[in-house]
Amino acid sequence: MKRKRDNLRELHLPEIDRGLEMLGDIEEGCKDLDKEVHEAFLASKEAQLIYTIPGIGEVTAIALVAELCPIERFANVERLCSYAGLVPTNHQTAETSYQGHLKSDANQLVRWLLIEASWVHRRETKRSDVSLTAKRVARRRGKQKGNIAGAHKLLKIVYAVLKRGAPYTPGRPGSGEPTAKP
């Protein structure tokens, strides 16, 4: 990377030189932010618990803690899923019920974080319950809906980890992982 930047500097174009200087300033600012994020992560017990789930990094863990904690404010996991907008809308009349699109009046940041974390989780752990659920739904209904199902399952795991106050352990009943290999 440094060699490529040096090659660009050899062109002696003022626009490129200015751009490279700005890029260096941005990188310096990011180092400070990364340090502050890491310090916030170390200060939060909940963030460290969520971090034990594959696919969730420090920044995602801190953001989820900021948006979801205290977890006791959610009566159950389905209320949390509704808050995150990972459940469909429901239209009902006397005899018929129709499930529509995802809720729009939800916390968009939490939904986005979980969808992104679900992709990473699926890449890191191919045989997890999140991955298997997402693949099963994706085969029937498409890749995007499969990932929404994976994010929904991942949120249930986050809820369980925060409620128990114990790190994520694959294979534990209620952890979202299969207990025996199929």
pLDDT digits (tens, 9 = 90+) for 18-40: 999 999 899 998 999 999 999 99
Please give the sequence-ordered ranges of beta strands (E in DSSP) within the chain, or none if there are none.
Answer: 88-92, 97-102
Enclosing domain of residue 129: 38-164
The residues of the chain scoring below 70 in pLDDT are: 172-182
Which helix or strand (DSSP H or E) is residue 120 part of?
helix 108-124
For residue 155, give the nearest of 73, 87, 94 by alpha carbon: 87
pLDDT of amino acid 114: 96
104 in any annotated domain: yes
pLDDT of amino acid 173: 56
Q: pTM for this one?
A: 0.80
The secondary structure of 124-136 as a DSSP string is: H-TTSHHHHHHHH
Nearest 10 degrees: CA dihedral of 7, 13, 19, 21?
Answer: 70
pLDDT of amino acid 152: 95
Provide the number of structural domains found in the chain: 1
pLDDT of amino acid 180: 44
